[in-house]
Amino acid sequence: AEHQHARYNPLRDDWVLVSAHRVKRPWQGQLEKPPPEDVPRWDPKNPLCPGATRANGEVNPQYEGTFVFPNDFPALQPDAPEPGDSDHPLFRAAAARGVCKVMCFHPWSDLTLPLMSLAEIRAVIDAWAELAAELGASYPWVQIFENKGAMMGCSNPHPHCQVWASSFLPNEARLEDRTQRQHLSQHGVPMLLEYAEQEARRKERLVVENVDWLVVVPYWATWPYQTLLLPRRHVCRLQDLCDSERDSLASIMQRLLIKYDNLFEVSFPYSMGWHGAPTGPFLEEDCGHWQLHAHYYPPLLRSATVRKFMVGYEMLAQAQRDLTPEQAAERLRSLPKVHYKQRSK
């Protein structure tokens, strides 16, 4: 806890430098603006609101639950042409096709996931699983991800996520596929199943848990309050979860996100995403080395206005963090279970 050291990340086959003493250094750098607290519940000018008109002229229905629609500015399109042949191995290109969708969690713009009911969060999970199955029938990778907060590049405060399906395995997917395959081959058990069992026993990095799931600040965490959401049983894909596991997932997500908001009493920014076994042609293959999991990457370090910057050494050498994962987990674990906005004054 007091001396710098490096920790190995077996999921990414890389290392992170832990320098816990650096969190004490004075800060005269950039201060972020806290997220706005006065987001209107409905705004006809907000393209994600029910009944609003989007940039392409489409009018949203008066939706009352989740709402999925094609991204009006997609990074991937299904009919992109093949790139030309390369004349040198240092100048290679490959086809990249896919579809991009946006999913609104709720019709209200001022309601984030931790403030939604368990039934509403469960509806989000069901929509995720449905999209993962639908797009995964033909595409090898379906990436569900949420960027929450302007600090994480989110351009609209309305609660929503994105789903990108691609004709290729992205870098992180290929890396996790390789490391998990190697671990199963060498140790005879899926890496993250074994890891979850170890963390459930050790407790020191545990944040919240229930009968089906646990959330930890991983031993190799890079971001200050990074967490990893893991199922207790071996499950490869989101769409493989049974009803009771989806209910308990809604519960543990709510508990985690309430703690995040309570940490600095602010709507906590993060980027999160689900990783599971590849789909499309991989549905016919044995993907037993995979274990479903979700990553949460929040940038805040000391307060609602001081973030962790991944620059300099992190960009040119390797990741570095300013407090230990155990310290981060203890702080998150000790936070109240009731959201700060819902406590009686």
User: Is residue 125 over pLDDT 90?
Assistant: yes
pLDDT tens sequence across 190-203: 999 999 999 999 99
pLDDT tens sequence across 243-291: 999 999 999 999 999 999 999 999 999 999 999 999 999 999 999 999 9
Average pLDDT of the segment spanning 32-43? 81
Alpha carbons 219 and 230: distance in angstroms, whole number:
14
**Residue 154 among known ligand-binding residues:** yes
- What single string gives the DSSP state of each residue in 301-323? -SSSS-B----THHHHT-EEESS
Residue 237: the pLDDT is 98
Terminal-residue alpha carbon distance, the chain: 36
Q: Are strands 141-148 and 293-297 parallel, antiparallel or unpaired?
A: unpaired
Among the residue ranges 15-24, 126-135, 169-178, 198-207, the one predicted with the least confidence is: 15-24
Query: What is the DSSP code (8-state) at residue 159?
Result: S
**Residue 176 among known ligand-binding residues:** yes
**Residue 9 among known ligand-binding residues:** no
Q: Residue 16's beta-bridge partner residues?
A: 7, 319
pLDDT tens sequence across 3-12: 899 999 999 9
The single residue of 106, 158, 160, 183 carrying the catalytic annotation is 160
Question: Any catalytic annotation for residue 187?
Answer: no
User: Is residue 30 over pLDDT 70?
Assistant: no
User: Is residue 128 over pLDDT 70?
Assistant: yes
**Residue 259 among known ligand-binding residues:** no
User: Is residue 2 over pLDDT 90?
Assistant: no
Task: Give me the phi and psi of 68, to 5 degrees please.
Answer: -115, 135
**Residue 187 among known ligand-binding residues:** no
**Residue 71 among known ligand-binding residues:** yes
**Residue 110 among known ligand-binding residues:** no
Q: Are strands 319-321 and 14-18 parallel, antiparallel or unpaired?
A: parallel
**Residue 153 among known ligand-binding residues:** yes
Question: In this structure, are residues 231 and 220 in contact, taking their beta carbons and an 8 Å threshold?
Answer: no
Query: Using N-to-C axis directions, what is the helix angle for 243-264 and 325-333, rounded to 10°?
Result: 100
Query: What is the DSSP code (8-state) at residue 274?
Result: E
Residue 312: the pLDDT is 94
Domains present along the chain, CATH in parentheses: 40-78+94-336 (3.30.428.10)
Residue 262: the pLDDT is 96
**Residue 62 among known ligand-binding residues:** no
pLDDT tens sequence across 56-75: 999 999 999 999 999 999 99
**How many C-beta neighbours within 10 Å does residue 56 have?**
9
Question: In this structure, are residues 259 and 270 in contact, taking their beta carbons and an 8 Å threshold?
Answer: no
**Residue 5 among known ligand-binding residues:** no
User: Is residue 38 over pLDDT 90?
Assistant: no
pLDDT exceeding 90 applies to what percent of the chain? 85
Alpha carbons 232 and 197: distance in angstroms, whole number:
7
- Residue with the bigger pLDDT between 24 and 325: it is 325
Confidence band, pLDDT 50/70/90 cuts, at residue 116: very high
pLDDT tens sequence across 201-246: 999 999 999 999 999 999 999 999 999 999 999 999 999 999 999 9
- Residue with the bigger pLDDT between 43 and 28: it is 43
